């Protein structure tokens, strides 16, 4: 091996030189070059080399204090660094130039005692100082982009501009009061813990490396591809947070990112596409912190949406309440209602006598309660979260009730909630007092009659609507401090709440100004007295004083504000609090942006007013501070948005605001959740594997039928609010292996739910198919509608609600086939089954329906004209107020066999006139129907009624009706042509009147081989008319 010239003949010197070169290659400029072999070294140089050997590899890149804690830096490094930072003051700018190519060079800046200090070492020796108040901007520049800037401490009352500096680090408590801007074109900029207390943060570079906790007052903007070198938390203050490029981790699944912005968070590029993050969390605000104590307690509220008879889903919330030490029941949580009105049931009201003075309640929903005032101890919630009044308070014990709009009657006895499928009454939590019609009655808000500080006020958290909801009773300074906005409440002088003695306020206790605008037009209403009402699905502007001949503002007809109109609500601020303007664009999303008009004033006043409904709760947490006489508000994220392309993490993804999605979202088997409404801008796939998937808000597309959604999860998938209520999607799919709960969906193509599925609301697919691959359960009244596409339920189907299916009108396109692969109602009977299109319907197993539920339809099985129903597995149809089974027209080739059809107020089976060739009604037991066993209501041709048991012995009930067996008539045949219809081999006995009755002429009917016995009037009763061609044989 040939030696280099300096080492010729000098083995020891050569080894030393090789070691020096290895050290220089490893440590770069930390090792001073030798001036030549055998060169004379000064004492300083020897000391520097000795220090370097001791510290091998322990220097931190960037120098200037880069030793381990407790180790002093070599003096020559400190001396050299002092020469590379050149601060100066130019006007109101503090200019710091780092003029060196060495990667060791750093500038240190801090604020202390009103001074800005600049130094080249972390101990701030020989620091340059300038008064903080004299500086408006700090400008830091480097010559090569390789320098390091450290903002060590203090809140500097200026803005910051950094150019051509590679690393910027903020220490604990360090901040700038103004904007912070950093730019490094063509290189990598690394920044940590950047804080602007009064401005925005902007970073732009060829590549960016971020870490730590960031906070701005207005906006944060990150321009360029971004890598997280450790966990990062970024807060945009009152502004937006924007990433213009992709965001990745530095090590697979090791870095997490959380972003907080009350306005908008935008990721313009993919997240985790190259190196997955550990997790991604975005939200609008920090969660409300409520320490639990004897002075402040939180109680869960329950989201319980209700589907109206028209298929509209109304958002409702419930609270569990126990009365007099009995078991807890669910009541509607209603901050617009007056007093606690609860259905009386002696089984759950131990020792309470319902004999007090009358106290009735009527609601704008049409519900009414006839009640009496009783005294009882009331307990809210369950278990450790339970809160009690400790002493009796007045409660309205409902003895009867119903709904004037629907005609429904409420039965509060038993375990089935009679009100909207979920509630046993109304937990009114407004400021109002129901005084009944006699002295001494004061049924009012139970929350304001709790003991001690618990009655000082309460906080309601409901939004974004559909998410986790909570009630907190008892206010503390720490809780109040989290609510930045406040409005003074109108009090009623010298009136106080029972038990607690707290001040009473007007039920509509404040009056904001409402301004509607669109384009260059606007209209201001008010100030209008306002009620915040959790029991009302959406906002209602009530204008009883509005001129009848004048249309409502920004309403194209009807009683709603036109979608696209902006509403701005200006709240009158309480002294010492900032003003609040609540603004949103009207739309069709109930409980979020839907605004209606009403000519009624509501129940609490007679003048113009506004009921906010749930719209306000969707965007604000609300504190009813009775002790301070204030309404306090806190934004909750309902108005904020996150925009995301594809995201890949190895842990959870949680988006705590409205979301704009389009791409693939992979969580590595961990949960995925969106708390607000979702808008899809492209086809979207969520891959969560074993992680749960939750969409709390409604999901809409951008173009009708343009975007699809697919969820792949072996855990629970929950669509809490409807899919496509405003802009239908192209399709929705979930995979097998988990469960799905969905509250209605609208698509142009397929809806396929491959796993165990809970359904509620309306499902419309236009030309796509609807399919449930696993067991299905109805959580409310449900409609499925396609335009000629098939509908299938592969597994069992249960739920105490009615199901209606329409699969096309049979016009240009035949109606789609309807298939049930498993038993219907085996575990929980359905409350009705309707086939409203001329489709082929097949049920392969038993069908069990019960009309006794308060949500039941009038008819058990309703079959449309032209439909063909094959139900050969038998089952039970009972207790409907109409017919058990009703064919509304022709049906060729149907089969109804093996059923027990009983206890219906109408007929057991009713068939309207038409062609029934090949249809068989056989081997059924049809008993105890109040009208007829079987009713042939028109000219039924080609029908076969064979081997049925129609009627049996029973007994009279307290109303004088015979129950348990007899029908009024066994078979009733209307006048008409019954050619090809056969009534054969049936047991027709013990009916209250005739076994078979024909009130008019019947032709072409064959009656043979039937057993008719023990009927109340006649076996066969032919009243009058032409019976030619009708044959009766034994």
Q: Which secondary-structure segment (H or E) carries 700?
A: strand 699-701
Higher pLDDT, 26 or 956: 26
**Integer CA distances (angstroms), 703 to 284, 442, 636, in order:** 27, 54, 28
**What is the structure's pLDDT at 698?**
93
In this prediction, what percent of the chain has a pLDDT beyond 70?
90
Query: Which residue in the block uniquely carries the two structure tokens 């739309």?
Result: 587
pLDDT at 44 over 60: no
How many Å apart are CA 248 and CA 811, to the nearest integer? 54
Q: At 793, is the pLDDT very low, low, confident or very high (cuts 50, 70, 90)? A: very high
**What is the structure's pLDDT at 6?**
44
**What is the structure's pLDDT at 70?**
43
**Integer CA distances (angstroms), 120 to 60, 97, 109, 156, 164, in order:** 15, 11, 9, 18, 17
Summarize pLDDT for 473-528 with one digit per residue, the tens.
999 999 999 999 999 999 999 999 999 999 999 999 999 999 999 999 999 998 99
**Is the distance from CB of 624 to CB of 534 less than 8 angstroms?**
no
Summarize pLDDT for 858-900 with one digit per residue, the tens.
999 999 999 999 999 999 999 999 999 999 999 999 999 999 9
**Is the distance from CB of 373 to CB of 357 less than 8 angstroms?**
yes
How many Å apart are CA 607 and CA 528, to the nearest integer? 9
Q: Where are the beta strands (DSSP E) in 45-200?
A: 85-90, 93-98, 106-112, 115-119, 128-131, 137-142, 148-153, 155-156, 159-163, 167-170, 175-176, 180-192
How many Å apart are CA 68 and CA 55, to the nearest integer? 9
For residue 373, the cross-strand partners are: 396
pLDDT at 51 over 70: no
Homologous superfamily of 297-483 in CATH?
Answer: Acid Proteases (2.40.70.10)
Query: Which residue in the block uniquely carries the two structure tokens 């009640």?
Result: 371
Summarize pLDDT for 291-334 with one digit per residue, the tens.
999 999 999 999 998 888 777 888 999 999 999 999 999 999 99
Average pLDDT, integer, range 830-855: 94
The two tokens of residue 421 are 């499928």
**What is the structure's pLDDT at 766?**
85
The two tokens of residue 598 are 């009403």
**Is the distance from CB of 280 to CB of 271 less than 8 angstroms?**
yes
Which DSSP state fits 619? H
pLDDT-wise least confident of 60-64, 359-363, 369-373, 913-917: 60-64
Average pLDDT, integer, range 113-124: 94
* Pairing of β 361-362 and β 367-376: antiparallel
The two tokens of residue 405 are 């709009």
How many Å apart are CA 107 and CA 96, to the nearest integer? 8
**What is the structure's pLDDT at 22?**
62
How many Å apart are CA 967 and CA 974, to the nearest integer? 17
**Is the distance from CB of 362 to CB of 337 less than 8 angstroms?**
no
* Pairing of β 201-215 and β 226-235: parallel
Give the N- to C-terminal CA distance of the chain in Å, as an integer: 124
Average pLDDT, integer, range 832-855: 94
In this prediction, what percent of the chain has a pLDDT beyond 90?
79
Q: What is the CA radius of gyration of the chain?
A: 38
What is the domain partition of the chain in residue ranges? 297-483, 504-635, 758-1033
**What is the structure's pLDDT at 24?**
58
Summarize pLDDT for 713-726 with one digit per residue, the tens.
999 999 999 999 99
Average pLDDT, whole number, for the chain?
90
- Domain 504-635: give its CATH code: 2.40.70
Summarize pLDDT for 615-635 with one digit per residue, the tens.
999 999 999 999 999 999 999
Topology match between the domains 297-483 and 504-635: yes
pLDDT at 100 over 70: no
Summarize pLDDT for 900-949 with one digit per residue, the tens.
999 999 999 999 999 999 999 999 999 988 889 999 999 999 999 999 99
The two tokens of residue 294 are 């004897």
pLDDT at 16 over 80: no
DSSP 122-159: TT-TT-EEEEGGG-SEEEEEESSS--EEEEEESEESSE
> Which residues are CB-neighbours of 814 under 8 A, at least 6 positions away?
788, 808
How many Å apart are CA 614 and CA 461, to the nearest integer? 11
């Amino acid at each position: 091996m040939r030696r280099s010239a300096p080492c010729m003949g000098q083995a020891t010197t050569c080894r030393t030189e090789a070691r020096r070169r290895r050290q220089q290659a490893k440590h770069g400029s930390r090792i001073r070059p030798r001036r030549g072999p055998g060169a004379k070294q000064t004492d300083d140089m020897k000391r520097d080399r000795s220090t370097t050997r001791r510290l091998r590899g322990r220097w931190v890149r960037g120098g200037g204090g880069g030793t381990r804690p407790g180790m002093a830096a070599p003096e020559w490094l400190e001396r050299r660094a002092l020469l590379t930072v050149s601060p100066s003051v130019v006007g109101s700018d503090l200019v710091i130039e780092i003029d060196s190519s060495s990667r060791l060079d750093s500038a240190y800046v801090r604020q202390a005692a009103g001074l800005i200090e600049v130094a080249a070492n972390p101990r701030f020796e020989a620091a340059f100082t300038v008064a903080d108040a004299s500086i408006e901007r700090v400008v830091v520049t480097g010559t090569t982009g390789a320098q390091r800037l450290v903002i060590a401490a203090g809140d500097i009352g200026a803005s910051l501009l950094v150019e051509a500096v590679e690393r910027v680090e903020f220490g604990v408590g360090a901040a700038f009061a103004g904007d912070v801007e950093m730019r490094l074109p063509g290189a990598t900029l690394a920044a940590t813990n950047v804080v602007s207390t009064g401005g925005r943060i902007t970073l732009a570079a060829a590549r960016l490396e971020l870490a730590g906790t960031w906070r701005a007052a207005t906006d944060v903007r990150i321009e360029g591809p971004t890598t997280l070198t450790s966990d990062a938390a970024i807060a945009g203050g009152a502004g937006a947070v924007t990433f213009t490029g992709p965001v990745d981790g530095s090590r697979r699944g090791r870095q997490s990112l959380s972003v907080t912005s009350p306005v908008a968070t935008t990721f313009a590029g993919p997240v985790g596409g190259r190196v997955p993050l550990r997790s991604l969390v975005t939200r609008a605000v920090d969660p409300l912190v409520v320490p639990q104590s004897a002075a402040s307690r939180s109680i869960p509220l329950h989201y319980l949406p209700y589907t109206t008879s028209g298929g509209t889903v109304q958002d409702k919330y419930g609270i569990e309440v126990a009365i007099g030490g009995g078991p807890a029941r669910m009541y509607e949580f209603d901050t617009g209602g007056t007093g606690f009105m609860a259905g009386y049931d002696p089984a759950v009201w131990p020792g309470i006598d319902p004999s007090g003075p009358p106290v009735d309640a009527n609601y704008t929903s049409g519900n009414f309660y006839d009640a009496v005032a009783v005294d009882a101890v009331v307990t809210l919630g369950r278990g450790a979260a339970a809160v009690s009044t400790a002493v009796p308070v007045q409660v309205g014990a409902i003895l009867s009730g119903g709904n004037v709009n629907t005609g429904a009657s409420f039965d509060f006895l038993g375990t089935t909630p009679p009100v909207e499928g979920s509630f046993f009454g109304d937990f009114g939590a407004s400021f109002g007092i129901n005084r009944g019609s006699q002295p001494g009655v004061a049924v009012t808000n139970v929350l304001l009659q709790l003991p001690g500080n618990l009655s000082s006020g309460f906080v309601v958290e409901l939004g974004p609507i559909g998410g986790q909801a909570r009630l907190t009773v008892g206010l503390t300074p720490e809780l109040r401090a989290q609510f930045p906005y406040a409005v003074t409440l109108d009090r009623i002088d010298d009136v106080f709440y029972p038990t607690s003695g707290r001040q009473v306020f007007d039920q509509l206790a404040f009056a904001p100004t409402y301004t509607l605008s669109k384009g260059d037009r606007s209209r201001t209403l008010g100030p209008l007295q306002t009620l915040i009402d959790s029991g009302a699905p959406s906002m209602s502007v009530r204008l009883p004083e509005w001129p009848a001949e004048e249309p409502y503002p920004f309403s194209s007809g009807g009683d709603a504000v036109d979608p696209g109109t902006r509403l701005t609500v200006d709240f009158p601020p309480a002294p010492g609090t900032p003003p609040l303007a609540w603004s949103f664009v009207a739309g069709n999303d109930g409980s979020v942006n839907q605004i209606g008009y009403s000519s009624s004033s509501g129940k609490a006043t007679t003048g113009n007013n506004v009921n906010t409904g749930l719209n306000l709760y969707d965007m604000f947490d609300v504190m009813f501070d009775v002790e301070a006489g204030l309404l306090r508000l806190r934004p909750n994220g309902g108005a904020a948005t996150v925009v995301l392309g594809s995201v890949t993490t190895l842990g959870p993804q949680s988006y705590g605001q409205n979301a704009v999605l389009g791409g693939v979202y992979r969580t590595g088997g961990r949960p995925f959740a969106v708390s607000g409404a979702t808008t899809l801008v492209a086809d979207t796939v969520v891959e969560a594997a074993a992680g749960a998937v939750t969409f709390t808000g409604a999901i809409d597309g951008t173009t009708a039928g343009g975007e699809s959604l697919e969820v792949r999860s072996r855990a629970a998938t929950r669509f809490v609010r409807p899919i496509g209520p405003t802009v239908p999607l192209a399709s929705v799919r979930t995979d097998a292996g988990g469960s799905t709960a969905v509250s209605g969906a609208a698509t142009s193509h397929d809806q396929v739910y491959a796993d165990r599925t809970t359904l509620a609301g309306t499902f419309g697919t236009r030309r796509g198919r609807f399919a449930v691959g696993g067991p299905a359960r109805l959580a409310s009244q449900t409609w499925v509608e396609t335009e000629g596409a098939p509908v299938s339920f592969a597994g069992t189907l249960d739920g105490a609600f009615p199901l209606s299916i329409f699969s096309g009108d049979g016009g240009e396109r035949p109606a789609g086939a309807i298939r049930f692969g498993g038993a219907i109602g085996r575990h929980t009977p359905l409350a009705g089954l309707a086939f409203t299109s001329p489709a082929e319907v097949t049920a392969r197993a038993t069908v069990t329906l019960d009309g006794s539920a308060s949500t039941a339809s009038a008819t058990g099985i309703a079959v449309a004209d032209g439909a063909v129903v094959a139900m050969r597995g038998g089952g039970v149809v009972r207790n409907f107020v109409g017919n058990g089974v009703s064919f509304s027209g022709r049906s060729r080739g149907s089969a109804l066999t093996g059923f027990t059809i009983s206890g219906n107020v109408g007929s057991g089976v009713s068939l309207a006139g038409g062609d029934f060739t090949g249809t068989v009604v056989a081997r059924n037991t049809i008993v105890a129907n109040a009208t007829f066993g079987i009713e042939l209501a028109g000219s039924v041709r080609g029908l076969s009624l064979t081997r049925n048991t129609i009627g049996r012995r029973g007994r009279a009930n307290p109303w004088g009706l015979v129950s348990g067996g007899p029908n009024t008539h066994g078979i009733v045949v209307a006048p008409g042509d019954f050619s090809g219809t056969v009534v054969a081999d049936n047991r027709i006995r013990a009916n209250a009147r005739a076994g078979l009755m024909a009130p008019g002429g019947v032709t072409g009917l064959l009656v043979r081989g039937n057993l008719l016995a023990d009927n109340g009037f006649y076996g066969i009763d032919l009243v009058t008319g032409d019976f030619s061609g009708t044959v009766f044989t034994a």
